[in-house]
Homo-oligomer: A and B are copies of this chain.
């Protein structure tokens, strides 16, 4: 039996994308605010990021990346490529800040982004407009917005995974059953 395509894939629909973008700050707030410091600073070893680092990264994207790229497409189409994104800016930007203040800032910035995005009243023709990614090449506004949504969710999975893996030893024999620890594909 084949799966109906509408349960494993969806086309990007502006209102639906906005519905998810709107929810991310509250979801991260519910998950993280008030957690013990050790969990906030937890990571997966090496250069991997902690929940604290991820929230800083989301703030930097909100400030410099997502809506700036939307505006670039609307103003210049694919004539001017997007500016490159600094994936490690948060290590300087977040320095000395509390997680609570980062969560507050992310929520405020996201509220502003969503308001600006909604106010553009993008049409289907707008969503099909081309942009130019400095590495990936030709993209569309619709693909940019779907990526914004997916990028949020990717970082939600990352934060929950980082927290879960702190107990990779503490769960004992159960580690075999916990895909988030065993690393078995979902």
Verify B173–A137 contact, CB threshold 8 A: yes
Would A35 and B23 be within 8 Å (CB), given that A143-B170, A164-B153, A171-B150 are in contact? Answer: yes
Of the candidates B138, B144, B154, B185, which one forms a contact with A178 in the assembled complex, judged by CB atoms under 8 Å apart? B154
Query: Which size class do A's interface residues fall under?
Result: 35 or more
Complex alpha-carbon distance, A170 and B186, angstroms? 21
Q: Which residue of B lies closest to A154 (CB)?
A: B180
Complex alpha-carbon distance, A165 and B20, angstroms? 13
Measured between C-beta atoms, what is the minimum distance from A11 to chain B in Å?
Answer: 6
Copies of chain A in the complex? 2
Verify A150–B180 contact, CB threshold 8 A: yes
Binding site for B on A (CB under 8 A): 3, 6-13, 15-16, 19-20, 23, 26-27, 29-31, 34-36, 38-39, 41-46, 48, 50, 133, 136-140, 142-144, 146-147, 149-151, 153-154, 156-158, 160-161, 163-174, 176-181, 183, 185-186
Q: Could you show 25 A-B contacts with beta carbons less than 8 Å apart?
A: A6-B38, A7-B38, A7-B42, A7-B43, A8-B165, A12-B167, A19-B36, A20-B39, A23-B30, A30-B30, A136-B174, A136-B176, A139-B173, A142-B170, A143-B172, A144-B174, A146-B172, A150-B167, A150-B174, A150-B180, A150-B181, A153-B160, A154-B160, A158-B186, A160-B160
